Every structure is written in structure tokens, then in C-alpha cells.
Amino acid sequence: MAKRPLILVTNDDGITAPGIRALIEVMNKIGDVVVVAPDSPQSGMGHAITINSTLNCTEIKVDNGPQKEYQSSGTPADCVKLAINELMARKPDLCVSGINHGSNASINVIYSGTMSAAIEAGIEGVPAIGFSLLDYQWTANFNPLKPFIETIVRNALKEKISSDVVLNVNFPLLGENEIKGIKICRQAKARWVEKFDKRQSPMGKDYYWLTGEFINEDRGEDTDEAALAQGYISIVPTQFDLTAHHAIQKLNSWNFEE
């Protein structure tokens, strides 16, 4: 590519999270980088957007890199909308989101602020990739991921992925030499079984903490969960047309005239 690509970087853990700093470092090798990310952690925000209150957005300098950076009070999806429609001089060639501190494999994609940011870019016509590491620690080591991220991003730019298909990339918690490779996968059919920890406030009012256990009932070998368990990086192509086309025929047999 003769001209350096313009790359938007965002996340949901906040602009100072080690995961996004690692991602910015890799992207600076590949293109011109603009960062628009939340000013505080937004995990579990799903595809929330801010419609009944205002958004703050300020240019800031976090490190000595060449990238331009903005922090916003908005959700990850807000950050992408702001970046593409207000802050960036032209539409970016690619949006990368992450690196998330924690898994966004299988059903986690639905609750993920990281992936909602990437999906928002896709909706706006910008090819996008979300990156996540299976380590929830703030001090997670992102170094082993860097060469793989560079390879995936260079492929995405070269192959010109469609903005209709957003890549959900998850990394196993392994060293660079332990990672077995990359597998293209489908989303495993898994879910969280919630347990609510019920407590009472000093004023006698009930309240709950949400906790849960992750249950993967999908034995398929072609799933992201299977790839990760075997030591592979998983890439799931993800779409935002949610239509269950296979169900249309059956629904057409319903009797609405009774």
C-alpha cells in the first residue's frame, strides 16, 4: 500500500488501559493513527449509545507516540460515531478495538463494548476488527499478541475486508511461542448461568451483585471456544444483520386470521 492507511483505535476499558496502549503501538507501525476512546472503563456496555445526555470529548496526550488522541465521556459506540462523523478529517480505512482485558468469544460478543465499537464502525461502512485477550487482569501481558495483531491487520488491509463482516479476534492466555496459530471459527453456543448474590444495605434494603458461571454446551470443533482451548487464536466473522433467515418459512405458516 503506497499511502499509509488511516486507522481508528478505540476500546471499552478506557483510554489508559494497557490493552489499548499495546494496540496503538502496533498500529503506529502500520498507519496513521487516531484514538477516540472512553475516559473511564465501559465493560458490559453492549451496544449502548448516549441519547438523553451530552457527550464530552477532549484531545489529550497519553504518551509520546505520533498518534492523535481524544477521550470521551461516551460509550464505545459513541466514540466511534464521534470519530467518524465529527473528529476525523476523512473516513478511516480500518477501525480496531481493544485489546480487551478479557474474553469476547462465544456469547460474550453480545455484551461486549469492545465488539460493539467495532460493529458500530462496520455499520458506518468502516472495516473493523475487535481484539481480546483471555486475561481479565489490568497487568495482563500483551506482548505475545503483537506480531499476530500486525499480521491480521496487514491481511485485513490487503484483502479489503467488507465492512459488513466485523472480525472478532480472541487470544488464548499463552506465550508467543506457545500459540499454535490462527483458526477461523464460528461463535460457540454458550451462555452465562447467573447467580445473584443478594445482600442487605445498612439501611435494610435488598440489593444484588451479578455473578455467574460460563457454560459452553457446544461440542463443535469449529467454534471459537474450541480453538482457544486448543491454544489457537480464534477469528469469528461477525455480522449485524440479525435476521434468522432459516426461520422465515416456518413463521409464514402461522395463522394470524383466527
> Which DSSP helix (H) or strand (E) runs through 181?
strand 181-184
Rg (Cα) of the chain, in Å, rounded?
19
Output the smallest distance, CB 64 to a copy of itself, in A.
25
The answer to whether 212 touches 193, Cβ cutoff 8 Å, is yes
Does residue 152 belong to the site contacting a copy of itself (CB under 8 A)? yes
Q: Which of residues 10-49 bind a copy of itself (CB under 8 A)?
A: 41, 43-49
Give whichever of 139 and 255 is closer to a copy of itself, judged by the CB atom.
255
Give the span between the Cα atoms of 68 and 238, in whole angstroms. 28
DSSP state of 68: E
Does residue 62 belong to the site contacting a copy of itself (CB under 8 A)? no
Only segment of 22-30, 52-60, 61-69, 172-180 that touches a copy of itself (CB under 8 A):
52-60
List of residues 6+ apart from 181 with CB closer than 8 A: 232, 233
Does residue 191 belong to the site contacting a copy of itself (CB under 8 A)? yes
Does residue 248 belong to the site contacting a copy of itself (CB under 8 A)? yes
Output the smallest distance, CB 255 to a copy of itself, in A.
7
Give whichever of 67 and 112 is closer to a copy of itself, judged by the CB atom.
112
- Cα 154 to Cα 167, 172, 173, distances in angstroms: 13, 21, 23
Q: Which of residues 116-145 bind a copy of itself (CB under 8 A)?
A: 116, 119, 123-124
Best CA proximity match to 157, nearest among 182, 127, 184: 127
Binder among 177, 204, 205, 213 for a copy of itself (CB under 8 A):
205
